[in-house]
Amino acid sequence: MADLNVHLKGLDLKNPVLTASGTFGYGSEFQDFIDLSHLGGFIVKGTTLNPREGNPYPRMAETPCGMLNAVGLQNKGVDYFITHIYPEIKDISTSVLVNVSGSTVSDYIATAEKINELSHIPGIELNISCPNVKEGGMAFGTRCSSVSEVVKAVRQVYHKHLMVKLSPNVTDIQEIALTAEGEGADSVSLINTLLGMAIDIKTRKPRLSTVTGGLSGPCVKPVALRMVWQVAKVVKIPVVGLGGIMNAEDAIEFFLAGASAIQVGTANFIDPAVTIKITEGINDYLDKNGFQKIQDIVGLI
């Protein structure tokens, strides 16, 4: 049994397998399939200051080796999370992070301040990369100046682990990551979904109500892996890799590229128990190849 413990600045995980925000609900949806305490952690869905209904149906289109979604951050708002969800999940023996999103910098600040008060939430994932909202979201994550502004502002009010989730829809992912690091991010997670679209040629209409949406699944993995590798080369903070991880082999590629931990997203839809299999597979790989601990394979490329 290899040592799977991961220490991201101020955030200790029992193993490097997290679940990606928006693909794992609030964890309870998966309790019939897995023991949540066996996860390194899970990241609850994008939470905003005020409730959001999200985008109109249709919000999803299956595409080759993946899918597009345009959910648009449907959630009941941070206050509902604190009163109704938090009491249900706070005692689960794993690290629960909250994905924080917003339309304005002041929204991000207000939400982060509220989450900061929750003693059982050891960190947030700052979502500056959602491609499915008209205001905010990805708009913050695609220019260094706005990345700087929002990360700096949240850093001032949020005192636990601050993970910043990066958008792949940029020309130079390294400068975005360096900006987040410079403003005090404790880690960066990447990639959020790639902006894409699909058209129904029978109706000659877009398949999504919003026309464009976020692409995820194994089709994005090579892009994600490349970006994780590029970012890990230049930042000193830990990198959390995600994008199309379907099995342990995929996860190991991300560690080799420089990720200290990984997130499993879309794969949860096809196999709700996949995270446990991935954790076991990582351990088997380390054992078979004579590595004592997960850190030994991080960034070997």
Partner 1 sequence: MHNSCSMKKIIDFLVKENRQLNENMFLLSLYSEELPSLRPGQFVNVKVEDSPATFLRRPLSVYDVDEENKLLFLFIKIAGAGTQRLSRLKANERLNLILPLGNSFSIPQKGRCLLVGGGVGIAPLLYLSKEMHKKGLTPDLLIGVRSKNDIVLEDSFRQYAQLYYTTEDGSFGEKGYPTQHSLLANQYDHIFCCGPEPMMKAVAKYAAARQVDCEVSLENLMACGIGACLCCVTDTTAGHKCVCTEGPVFNIKDLKWQI
As annotated, the binding site for substrate includes 45, 69-73, 127, 192-193
Strands 212-216 and 66-69: antiparallel
Q: What is the DSSP letter of 33?
A: T
For residue 59, which of 275, 165, 222, 216 has the smallest C-alpha distance?
A: 216
Nearer to partner 1, 53 or 287 (CB): 53
- In our burial notation (b when 16+ CB lie closer than 10 A, e otherwise), range 251-260 reads bbbbbbbbbb
Considering the candidates 65, 130, 144, 219, report the single residue annotated as catalytic.
130
Strands 205-206 and 199-200: antiparallel
Nearer to partner 1, 60 or 153 (CB): 60
Nearer to partner 1, 33 or 291 (CB): 33
Q: Are 72 and 133 in contact (CB under 8 A)?
A: yes
- HEC string for 86-130: HHHHCCCCCEEEEEECCCCHHHHHHHHHHHHCCCCCCEEEEECCC
Name residue 43's amino acid.
I
Nearer to partner 1, 246 or 282 (CB): 246
> How many Cα neighbours within 13 Å face the side chain of 275?
31
- Give least dist CB 257 to partner 1, A: 24
Interface ranges with partner 1 (CB under 8 A):
22-25, 29-30, 32-33, 45, 53-54, 56-67, 69, 71, 74, 217, 266, 268-273
- Give least dist CB 85 to partner 1, A: 13
| Residue 212: strand pairing partners | 197
For residue 123, which of 67, 69, 213, 188 has the smallest C-alpha distance?
A: 188
- Give least dist CB 246 to partner 1, A: 10
Nearer to partner 1, 76 or 152 (CB): 76
Q: Tokens 């399939």 identify what position?
A: 33
- Give least dist CB 22 to partner 1, A: 7
- Binding site for FMN, by residue number, is 21, 45-46, 99, 127, 165, 191, 217, 243-244, 265-266
For residue 279, which of 85, 39, 35, 54 has the smallest C-alpha distance?
A: 39
* Annotation says 219 is catalytic: no
- Give least dist CB 59 to partner 1, A: 5
Q: Tokens 């996949």 identify what position?
A: 274
Catalytic residue positions, numbered: 130
